[in-house]
Homo-oligomer: A and B are copies of this chain.
Amino acid sequence: MIDLEQRLRSRGCRLTSQREAVLEVLEENQGRPLRPEDIHALAAKRLPGMGLTTVYRTLELFCELGIIAPVHLASGRNYFEVVAGKHRHYMECISCGGVETIEVCMIEELADKVRSGSDFQVTSHCLSLFGYCGECSRKGVAEGHARAGRGWGAA
């Protein structure tokens, strides 16, 4: 649980119940990236009447503050998660849509290689794997597929 008020103040922003609600929803769902619509539905439970527009505005602000980060999944829609101590990446099943966490991540090593090989200053990245989860593989759904991602190419 971060100090939301302090982070907001550092930017001249105010602490509101809407912003608290959005953060709480995301913190209660670590490991499960959510879309703006999902976040709105969950936040509106605690704060009836809360608008979707506010969710979008809050997500943008939280991203700028580094409190949350976008997650890139195959559907091409925007998902978000809180930036926790541990850095997560996901594998998404292109058959059932299930999302699993990748336990190993080599991004830091890759970023190091980039750093030493170019003058590009890496600040963030996007990494996700797509394919078939164990269950769907066993069901034999995975046949004659091609590459998938971002709403195109998936079966």
Which residues in A have some Cβ–Cβ distance to B below 8 Å? 59-60, 63-66, 69-70, 72, 74, 76, 78, 80, 83, 91, 93-94, 100, 102-106, 109-111, 113-114, 117-134, 137, 142, 145-153, 155
Contact = CB atoms under 8 A, between A and B. Distances in A.
28 contacts: A63-B152, A64-B146, A64-B153, A69-B153, A70-B149, A72-B72, A74-B126, A78-B150, A80-B152, A91-B120, A100-B120, A102-B110, A103-B117, A106-B110, A121-B131, A121-B132, A121-B133, A121-B134, A121-B137, A122-B129, A122-B130, A123-B130, A123-B131, A123-B147, A124-B129, A124-B147, A126-B126, A126-B150
Copies in the complex: 2
Contacts of A83: 147
